[in-house]
Amino acid sequence: MMTDVSPERADRLDAEDALAGFRERFVPITDPGVVAYLDGNSLGRPLRATAERLRELVEHEWGGRLIRAWEERWLALPGQLGDELGRVALGAAPGQTIVADSTSVCLYKTLRAAVALRPGRDEIVTDTANFPTDRFLVESVAAELGLTVRWIETGDVHPGDVAAVTGPRTAAVVLSHVDYRTAAITDLAAVTRVVHERGGLVVWDLCHSVGSLPVELDAAGADFAVGCTYKFLNAGPGAPAFLYVNARHHAEFGQPVTGWMGAADTFGMAEKYVPAPGIRRALSGTPPVLGMVGVQEGVALLAEAGIDRVRAKAVALGRWVLALADAWLVPLGFTVASPRDDDRRGGHVTLRHPDAERLSRVLIEHGVLIDFRRPDGIRIGLSPLTTGFAEVRRAMDRIRELAG
């Protein structure tokens, strides 16, 4: 761990940063009171290109081509964006990823599909520290179908934890790849193997990993995955999420929200629903074209930057936060909740403090935009394409000042 936390060290790290130039691609922060934006893992900053692309869409595609733009461009967007996202960030071959609804709706669809693929099994597994939407939907689907929920009593899930609660009754397991509170990374490939050995299927929540670290869904033999696009992909508030269905499940994959966009003949206005072949059957309603513009630009920028370079900077930023925390904040009563091992830590660092809720409000009032997570976590979000080392140092210095 580095011990030099001087301003000169921060400046050197910024000067050596291969991704530093990408910060100019984002809309500037105009509020002079903002010291640092360290909440991009909740809402990424807007791209200049997104604003330009939206203007082009409104004036030319929508304004000029009118309804003709559906067939000329828009109807193909969910699959096209899904394929590109799969290539750039998910390790997914074409035809398995599609941009669709909100994360919650995508999770409901994939969980229901997973359970249906394992008839006769009556248990769903998740962990007690999973994101609320995941836990709520697991309980909702279980109640809807008369199933039992088995709980893993930890937020730092290891393959052994999964092995201990899964068996011949396990239909599906729902887990987050990166813990939303601590940033602990779950071994996606190893857990998937454990569940498959027991005959179950896995639905992975990638919200805090997509765009921050490489994901290899195909190589891991993953079954299903979902994730949002407004965090590390910077697609904008409420931008549509994505879902992944491994090709081996396509023939039997059935989702419960059977809208017209997922039908075999979208404009046939058929009397009965017949699912489209492949991943397109995962669609339901009309694609949210305006929101997809942000996804398109965010994925394009990530492709240009390269997920491996993004991950390398996320690791470096995490080390920098840990060094500053050890030097300045641990003596003030803070503790580090995130893994110190680079291979086990995602794109944020969480610091615990007994007075974290009040302190978080004070920090935000003084321009350090972080996130509070109950009961005592202050989450330092590290978005590699927008976050600088000197910016992080200024923020940590302000935390030291306000907590001292």
Which amino acid would we find at residue 399?
Answer: I
Question: Is 205 part of the annotated catalytic residue set?
Answer: yes
Q: What angle do CA 86, 346, 242 make, to 5 degrees?
A: 30
What is the C-alpha separation between 239 and 231, in angstroms, rounded? 10
Cis peptide before 375 (omega within 30 of 0): yes
Tokens 């930890």 — which residue? 154
Q: How far, in Å, CA of 403 to CA of 294, rounded?
A: 37
**Unique residue bearing structure tokens 């790290």:** 13
The two structure tokens encoding residue 194: 């454990």
| Residue 231 is a catalytic residue | yes
Cβ(228)–Cβ(104) under 8 Å? no
Helices (H), 86-178: 103-116, 132-145, 159-165
Nearest to 95 by CA among 258, 281, 222: 281
Q: By the 8 A CB rule, do 236 and 263 touch?
A: no
The tokens for 89 are 């960030």
Helix (H) or strand (E) holding 301: helix 289-305
Question: What distance in Å separates the CA atoms of residue 233 and residue 40, rounded to the nearest whole number?
Answer: 9
Collapsing DSSP states into helix, strand and coil, what is residue 321?
Answer: helix
Would you tell me how many other CB atoms lie within 10 Å of the CB of residue 160? 10
CA distance 70 to 295: 18
**Catalytic residue of the set 22, 37, 108, 131:** 131
CB of 12 closer than 8 Å to CB of 391: no
Q: Is 379 assigned a catalytic role?
A: yes
Q: 276, 263 in Cβ contact below 8 A? A: yes
The catalytic position among 109, 121, 231, 311 is 231
Partners of 37 in beta bridges: 369
Residue of 150, 181, 311, 379 marked active site: 379
Among the listed residues 101, 179, 205, 371, the single catalytic one is 205
In 3D, which of 245, 368, 386, 376 has the Cα closest to residue 317?
Answer: 386
Nearest to 241 by CA among 131, 158, 350: 131
Report, as residue numbers or ranges, the catalytic residues: 131, 205, 230-231, 379
